[in-house]
Amino acid sequence: MTVTSDIAQVRLAQLGLSLMALGLLGACAFNPMRPLPAINQKLEQNGGNRDPSLSGRWLALIKGRDGRERIELVNLDQNRPISLPGLNRPDAQPLNVSVDAAGERMALIRQRDGRTELALYRRSRESLQPLPLEPPGVPRQVQLSADGRVLAVQVSRGGLWQVDLIELP
């Protein structure tokens, strides 16, 4: 009776240690995020990327290649970039970008002729419309709402950061 009880206690202790080890292992290895390898491998090709904006099946970012940077829009369902006629110019340096959930509107900040400007690109029209800031300021970051109707812009005015909300028609 004593021997049986001792064996049971030893097995219980072994089980406890095993569970503790598994728990520690799980705590160390647990990461709730799962990378998307097919998309990430494609993004990693051909240079660095920055300033991601994720909305619906669209990822907008600024891609560096051969010493130049350009705005790219990736259709995540097809895992490939799509054409953006009239958006990237050789004399303009993109600074920040944001896309809506339909992939139709993209707000961007770029530097051109020594000025920093805010603009809205409409993909179906292939048009780029400058958005003036009132009062004037230097835009730094932009965030388009998922429905594409409201734009939040971080602006420097008189040495202070401010956030402007702009309603879009």
Binding site for another protein (CB under 8 A): 31-36, 39-40, 43-44, 47-56, 59, 61, 64, 76, 101, 143, 146-147, 150, 165
Least distance in angstroms from the C-beta of 113 to another protein: 26
Token output for 92: 């303009």
Minimum distance between the CB of residue 129 and another protein, rounded to whole angstroms? Answer: 23
**Cβ proximity to another protein, 23 vs 64, nearer residue:** 64
d(CA 126, CA 86): 6
CB of 63 to another protein, least distance (A): 9
Nearer to another protein, 54 or 138 (CB): 54
Closest approach, Cβ 76 to another protein, in A, equals: 7
Q: What is the DSSP letter of 125?
A: T
- Count of other CB atoms within 10 angstroms of residue 64: 13
From the number of C-beta atoms within 10 Å of its C-beta (0-12, 13-18, 19+), residue 59 rates as buried
Note whether 120 and 129 are within 8 A (CB).
Answer: yes
To the nearest whole angstrom, how small is the minimum distance from the Cβ of residue 24 to another protein? 16
Q: Which is nearer to another protein, 3 or 29 (CB)?
A: 29
- Closest CB to another protein among 9 and 46? 46
Element (H, E) at 144: strand 138-144
Nearer to another protein, 76 or 168 (CB): 76
Burial class (CB in 10 A: 0-12, 13-18, 19+), 62: buried
